Amino acid sequence: MSTTSRIAGRFTGKVQDDYLGLIMKFPLTSIRSEGELDAAREVIDRLLAEDRPSKGVQLYLDALSDLVATYEDHHHFVPPASDADMLLHLMEAKGVNQTQLHRDTKIPKSTISEILSGKKVFSRQIIVTLASYFGVDKSVLAHNL
């Protein structure tokens, strides 16, 4: 079975009816303005509020979300958080201060302070230690490497 046949097979019966009904109300086309972005977000919010969206709604929502993400990636670039901001956020989320972080991880207090003040960036070893301590993937902390 070809890829095209497998994709078409997902769109039968009620799935097709729900999906095509949504396309008739808000077509899946490239988003070209802030107004279109706002309209797409409203549709997404409305669909996400449904208790049990049908498979057709889910497929439509996936496609519309991809179009929104593409527009936002090109028009609303958000630079990655600095190491200082990331560490501060993780510490606040876990409810620890610098002293507790030092005790729990054995990272020198001076290193923690220098990272938080922006004077130092994460090293590979600190990334491994912090990722384990905070329970996050190393890639979350490694954007500056």
Residues 108 and 102 sit within 8 Å (Cβ to Cβ): yes
- pTM recorded for the entire structure: 0.55
**So what's the pLDDT on residue 145?**
64
Residue 11: what pLDDT? 64
Cα–Cα distance, 29 to 54 (Å, whole number): 21
**Whose CA is closest to 29, among 21, 98, 37?**
37
Round to whole Å and give the CA distance between 97 and 112: 10
| pLDDT tens sequence for the chain (145 residues) | 566 556 656 667 787 888 899 999 999 999 999 999 999 999 999 999 999 999 999 999 999 999 999 999 999 887 888 999 999 999 999 999 999 999 999 999 999 999 999 999 999 999 999 999 999 999 989 876 6
Distance CA 132, CA 30 (A): 40
